[in-house]
Amino acid sequence: MINFQYLRTTTAKSAIALLVKDKNAKFLAGGTNLIDLMKRGVTAPEKLIDINHVPLKQIEQIGNKIHIGALASNSAVAEHALIKEKLPLLSWALQAGASAQLRNVATVGGNMMQRTRCGYFYDTEMPCNKRQPGTGCGAMGGFNRMHAIFGTSEKCIAVHPSDMCVALTALDAEVVLANAKGERKMLFKDFHRLAGDTPQLDNNLKANEMIIRLEIPVNNLAKNYHYLKVRDRASYAFALVSVAAAFELNNNKITDIRLAMGGVAHKPWRLTASENFLKGKEATLSNFEQAAQLAMKDAKGFGGNDFKLKLAPNTIIEALNLAKSKV
Amino acid sequence: MEKRILKDDNDRVDGILKVTGQAKYFAEYELPGLTYGVLVTSTITKGKITALDTKAAEKAPGVIAVVSHLNKPSAAAYEQEGGPQMKIFYTDKIFYNGQPIAIVVANTFERATYAASLVKATYVKEDFNTDFEKALKDPKAKKLQGQADYKRGIENAYKTAEVKLEERYFLPIETHNPMELHGIIADWRPNNQLTVYAKTQGVKATQGTIANVFKIPMENIQVNSEFVGGGFGMALRTWPLEIATVMASKHIGKPVKVVITRMQMFTMVGNRPAAIQTIGLGANKDGKLTGITHRAYGETSTYENFTEGVVNMAKFMYQCDNVNTAYAIVPVDLGVPIWMRGPGEATGAFALESAIDEMAHALDMDPLDFRIKNDPETDQQKNKPFSSKNIKEAYKIGAEKIGWSNRKNKPGSLIEGSWQTGYGVSVGVFNANRGKASVKGILKADGSLLLQSATSDIGPGTGTGMTLIANKLMKIPVNKITFELGDSSLPPAPSQGGSATLSTVGSAVNDVCVALKSAIAELAANSNMDATANFVDVLKKNNLPSIEVTKESQGGKERDNYSMYSFSIHFVQVKVHALTGVVKVSKIVYVGDSGTIVSPKTARSQMLGGAVGGIGMALTEESIVDHRYGRYINNNFADYHVPVNADVPEIDVNFINKPDPYINPMGAKGMGEIALIGFSAAVANAVFNATGKRIRTLPITPDKILA
Ligand SMILES: Cc1cc2nc3c(=O)[nH]c(=O)nc-3n(C[C@H](O)[C@H](O)[C@H](O)COP(=O)(O)OP(=O)(O)OC[C@H]3O[C@@H](n4cnc5c(N)ncnc54)[C@H](O)[C@@H]3O)c2cc1C
Ligand code: SF4
């Protein structure tokens, strides 16, 4: 087998120290993505730094923000009373992802860092600019039914597969990152990036950094919300398109609204134009339909995924409908 | 087999063993000195190996040998010219991407896996085509007849009918994907003695194939396969990877175990071939069918031909004087297909049973009425009466249970919010087979009965069915009956396929029991005992620890006099989401008409499994090849969508449960295939009823509903 060293640490500080010491080291959290990638030969770290014993599993409210540690498991977050009460959209999005077994070990940080599910990325015999820059994009002109319609580049049309991240983007979350010198904060929506000319990079985390926690502002969006995930089977499948929708309603008038989409871009896709359109308007079907059309500006299909041009706006409308009728 | 604890007489005899992990599957056998093999596969789709660099692999830690076409041990049959199959390691030709080209054997699985990655092949590449549709359109591409053309009455009579339709139907490649991965353990010992632990639907077939390839006597080969973690047809033959493992064991003189990867399950052990079919139907305005034409093309490989019964059903299922069929196979550069549950009949039934629904719609008739109106009294193809057929009764029961009266004939009539509801019906039909099998029965003075046969159990519950047959005849409690199978040294039986095991082996069990009973009666008479005396007393009185009978059993001329089929009527209710295109099967009602139900619980399980497989075929399963590279794209369980629990609704299973008077002593017809055959059409028909959209390409994924 391809040998690697396994290290375990109990503090974020020492984890980061181990990381920077070695160019070819990687954090091991739940391992549900990393181990698969190692088995398929997509990645071959020489050192695995097991961070599961680093005490970053907290889920708590501090001031008007909810803090979630990077090592909290996807199930722990989804099932936590605080999250269910104050951020139900996040709970729903998490429950829509993967399977119960996977969610039990998958972590918040790992979920953010999970790589695309593009089949060409996983098959080392196929061209893929993300896995091996310069080899070409297999999905372009190939099987691209699952692929992006927004913000694509000539080099890569992959999507970020996470459900959790769609909700976090909608919820104006912030993410706290740390390197050996200290911490920095970033808007969650800026964490992931578009592929551009460097599809090998999924996000803006630096090579010497670790994800520490999320901070999510408490909001008034816990009443009218919905996470709608359209997929090829009823559970345990990645999204064709998903929509996180939440709004605050006063006399049927929308006073605050958040909309984000998954399965459509290299990053969770916030629908700012649609939000702006709906803000201050009545929650009516015709307004929802117009908002959905606004979201589709600049969308582009690649053959296999052309159906998303219709599915995406439909899913937005239905998510808004379901958020509105939530009791 | 261990002693069994049964809750009731109906439980699976090996249920406890299975759920407690005591049932031993092939990969779990630990032989002394066991080594581990991993297959190296081609990364090109067509061409030739020009060089194979195995040096690095051979030097890797723990590696014992690398076996390939360069150094394979002798396999006598492969040394001869000709022969239809791919001769593994006897050729440097590449027929498809993912073809095994070498096997690396090491002292651990991990080391073998790593070393396999170090084997480097150099190739000359040739142009290839894996796209079946493209081959079909290409006039230069080969098309081979798959079955003799059939004609009854006027050819293409549908074309001149009062009401007519002609439609095309598309099926993708489906991959069996049982939970258990394929593989084998081979232990080649001196003097050409071989023991294998296999995952097979036929221990005798495996024994025969290996004997043939290596030209060693059958008796030298012991095949064990007591438990099989699902087959669905993919274990109906001995694959090149198994021969490769035997070669490796022969080469190193040690036992070798191979368990392939999930990805290799897509390329090494067959699949349901893609198919393109055209159905022409003609009817008069009163709703009587006047013409049926079924033309089908199935995919096959370039190195071996594979055919199946795609166009069978059209010949007899409906009353119609004018029927013609044609079936051709089209070679592409992929691995050879194999039967997958329901086999070709399931492929054909999707097209035919969809078209029947389309015709009913064209006639503005209820599809159930249309089916009943065209239900034949006799088999027009064979010109014989059916041995038994109760499908009108089955239609009635099913219609009531699904709530058919709630269905509106006008599509798109039942709407609730964004969800549209629809109802669909279809028929599954399959040959009621009975082959030849032998069973040995040993009746013991301790009150127990041991039955033995070299049959298999890929999951349907063979042992349970056989035990219940014996239980009924011998009045011996089920926990005193043991049925042994999966061992090539036992009396011969055919492979488990074509829904024939219960009928074939069960008949031999029946005959053995009858013979044992008369032997006991004779002993009783000779020892002046009452004719009704208990066999334990009779044996004891005669100082016999046991008596033993072996019987070979097979059908007789009743098979010439009657047309024998098993039927299932499938009713489904679906909900279709108008905006997102999501289809949910919300209710399933089955009515099986397959003679006597010998084992009610396992019979029900057959239908449940058929529903799950049927939902997969209808809505989710598709193996996708990138034709530019000839490689599968979704060859894993995250991307190849087998239905999950959330996809499967309440399934109401009903049986007519009337004995067939001719098929066999039990009056029981096979059940393995019927639950799946035609099921996908019931779903497509229900989707049409819900939405007015006719989907003729499986699987029915959201994009197709939105298109
Ligand atoms: C079959 C299958 C189906 C799935 N379906 C879905 C789905 O429907 N929806 C969905 O959203 N997800 C799905 N997933 C993905 C799943 O959510 C991710 O695999 C999981 O969240 C990854 O978390 P982990 O803790 O196991 O990460 P790991 O595999 O341990 O790590 C992933 C990456 O993150 C890095 N990492 C981990 N923690 C940190 C940290 N604190 N700081 C910096 N880097 C870090 C690791 O170094 C590694 O590179 C599915 C996965 C599988 C296998
Ligand atoms: S879409 Fe991106 S990940 Fe997929 S093949 Fe192209 S470059 Fe690779």
CATH number at residue A15: 3.30.43.10
Over residues B598-654, the pLDDT tens digits come to: 999 999 999 999 999 999 999 999 999 999 999 999 999 999 999 999 999 999 999
**Four-way CATH pick for B31-126+177-268: 3.40.50.2000, 3.40.50.720, 3.20.20.140, 3.90.1170.50:** 3.90.1170.50
The domain B272-433+560-706: what is its CATH number?
A: 3.30.365.10
Mean local confidence (pLDDT), B38-43: 98
Q: Give how far the C-alpha of residue A47 lies from the chain's centroid of Cα atoms, to the nearest Å.
A: 26
| Residue A289 included in any domain | yes
Q: Give mean pLDDT, residues B448-472.
A: 96
CA distance B653 to chain A (A): 23
Burial label for B334, CB within 10 Å (0-12, 13-18, 19+), is buried
With tokens 């024939």, the residue in question is B500
In sequence order, what are the beta bridge partners of B484?
B452
Phi and psi at residue B451, to the nearest 5° = -120, 140
User: Is the CB of residue A110 below 6 angstroms from any atom belonging to ligand 1?
Assistant: yes
User: Cα angle vertex B436, ends B432, B439, to 5°?
Assistant: 115
Q: Give the domain CATH number at A292.
A: 3.30.390.50
| Ligand that lies nearest to the alpha carbon of residue A128, given by its number in the listed order | 2
Q: Does domain B435-554 have CATH number 3.30.360.10?
A: no
Distance in angstroms (rounded) separating the CA atoms of residues B627 and B630: 5
In sequence order, the 6+-apart residues with CB closer than 8 A to the CB of B429 are B313, B317, B345, B349, B565, B566, B567, B568, B674, B677, B678
Q: Which two tokens stand for residue B207?
A: 């024994």
- Rg value, chain B, Cα: 27
What is residue B684's predicted lDDT score, i.e. its pLDDT?
98
Q: Tell me, yes or no, whether A317 lies in a domain.
A: yes
Contact B110 A240 (CB under 8 A): no
Task: Indicate the helix (H) or strand (E) that contains B687.
Answer: helix B679-691
- Provide CB contacts within 8 A for B200, sequence distance 6+: B206, B223, B225, B228, B231, B235, B238, B456, B495
Tokens 């000359």, located at residue: B124
Q: Tell me, what's the pLDDT at B566?
A: 98
Domain count, chain A: 2
Quickly list DSSP for A132-200: STTS-BSSTTS--TT--SSS--SS-------SHHHHHHHTT-EEEEE-SS-EEEEEGGGTB---TT-TT
Give ligand 2 pocket residues (Cβ under 6 A): A 116, 118, 120-121, 128-130, 137-139, 156-158, 199
Tens digits of residue pLDDT in A145-171: 999 999 999 999 999 999 999 999 999
Q: Best interface-test mutation with A: which of B96, B574, B580 has the largest number of A CBs within 10 A? A: B580
Contact call for residues B55 and B118 (beta carbons, < 8 A): no
> Whole-number mean pLDDT of chain B?
96
Instruction: List the structure tokens of B478.
Output: 């089920």
User: Token pair of A28, please?
Assistant: 């091991």
Minimal CA separation from B260 to chain A, in Å: 14
Specify the pLDDT at position B3.
47
User: Which distant-in-sequence residues (6+ apart) come within 8 Å of B59 by Cβ?
Assistant: none
Q: In chain B, which segments carry CATH 3.90.1170.50?
A: 31-126+177-268
Where is the domain boundary, A52, A69, A91?
A52
Ligand 1: which atom is nearest the Cα of residue B637? 1
Q: Has residue A146 been placed in a domain?
A: no
B2 has a pLDDT exceeding 50: no
Q: Sorting pLDDT into bands at 50, 70 and 90, what band is B85?
A: confident
Reduced to 3 states (helix: H, G, I; strand: E, B; else coil), residue B651 is strand
> What percentage of residues in chain B have a pLDDT greater than 90?
97
- Is the pLDDT at B26 greater than 70? The verdict is yes
Give domain status of residue A45, yes or no. Answer: yes
pLDDT exceeds 50 at position B1: no
Q: Which residues of A touch B418 (CB under 8 A)?
A: 318, 321
Establish if A249 belongs to a structural domain: yes
In a domain, A191, yes or no: no
Model confidence at A23, pLDDT cuts 50, 70, 90, reads: confident
Partnered with residue B444 across adjacent β-strands are: B546
- 3 state SS of B154: coil
> What mean pLDDT is predicted for residues A16-22?
96
> Sign of torsion, CA A233 A236 A241 A242?
positive
- Which phi and psi (to 5°) does residue A146 adopt? -90, 0
- Model confidence over A54-108: pLDDT tens digits? 999 999 999 999 999 999 999 999 999 999 999 999 999 999 999 999 999 999 9
Domain boundaries, position A13? 5-52
Residue A297 lies in a domain: yes
* CB neighbour burial string for B177-196, b if at least 16 within 10 angstroms, e if fewer: bbebbbbbbbbbeeeeebbb
Within chain B, all domains assigned CATH 3.30.365.10 are found at: 272-433+560-706, 435-554
- What is d(CA B156, CA B293) in angstroms, rounded to the nearest whole number? 6
The half-sphere exposure of A310 on its side-chain side, counting CA atoms within 13 A, is: 13
Whether residue A149 lies inside any domain: the answer is no
Checking if the pLDDT of B83 tops 80, the result is no
Taking CA–CA distances from A2, the nearest residue in chain B reads B114
Whole-model pTM: value is 0.97
- As a whole number, mean pLDDT of residues B56-74 equals 98
Q: Classify strands A25-28 and A47-50 as parallel, antiparallel or unpaired.
A: parallel
